[in-house]
Amino acid sequence: MQAEVIETLQADPHASYLLCGRNGAGKSLMGWCLLRQAVCESRRVVGINLALLLDQYRALERPLREEEELPPRPKVLASDLDGSRNWFLLLQEFDKPRPTEYASERLFELVDMAFNFEHQLVITSNMDADELDTHWSTSSPRYGRSIMSRLRETCVQVNLF
């Protein structure tokens, strides 16, 4: 199946993809190859595990103690995607973060901006789209359904199960 998927990615390296499949199927390698293509085109890129990005968001919202410095800026914020540049976002392990209402809300904001301004999204997951819909709807069905409706409309789903 990898050869067929690689042909698809090579035919349209600027499309958004939802790369779903088992561990070791090559999803991450394919995502990083697309990211490299975007770097070679001098596009703005971010490649990050979703859980780490959500942790970066949480750190910004946590009250600081007197001796603490401000946490580093997250790799990408929804407000960065205002349409001024064509972004490439690789969100790895999309199924791994715990689907709290806070995580769902932040993720929706990011996906919504990418959707509205037509940035390229590449997502890797061990779950397929239906399972991701259930996963992200656990704590907040409103956000979960909205996240997945945008991904279904934007991304070419590639299954490597």
Domain annotation covers residue 138 = yes
Domain annotation covers residue 37 = yes
Q: Which residues contact 139 (CB under 8 A, 6 or more apart)?
A: 99, 100, 101, 104
pLDDT tens, 106-135? 999 999 999 999 999 999 999 999 999 999
Range of the domain at 146: 14-62+74-160
Domain annotation covers residue 18 = yes
Work out the average pLDDT over 145-151: 98
pLDDT tens, 12-29? 999 999 999 999 999 999
Q: What is the pLDDT of residue 135?
A: 98
Q: What is the pLDDT of residue 3?
A: 92
**Residue 85 banded pLDDT, cuts 50, 70, 90:** confident
**Residue 64 banded pLDDT, cuts 50, 70, 90:** confident
In this structure, are residues 125 and 132 in contact, taking their beta carbons and an 8 Å threshold? Answer: yes
CATH number for the domain harbouring residue 125: 3.40.50.300
Domain annotation covers residue 121 = yes
Domain annotation covers residue 3 = no
Neighbours of 48 (CB within 10 A): 17
Helix, coil or strand: residue 45: strand
Domain annotation covers residue 43 = yes
Instruction: Give the separation between CA 102 and CA 116, rounded to whole angstroms.
Output: 21
Domain annotation covers residue 6 = no
Q: What is the pTM of this model?
A: 0.95
Q: What is the pLDDT of residue 156?
A: 98
Q: How many domains does the chain have?
A: 1
Find the helix packing angle between 129-136 and 141-154, rounded to 10°.
Answer: 150
Instruction: Give the separation between CA 148 and CA 5, rounded to whole angstroms.
Output: 22
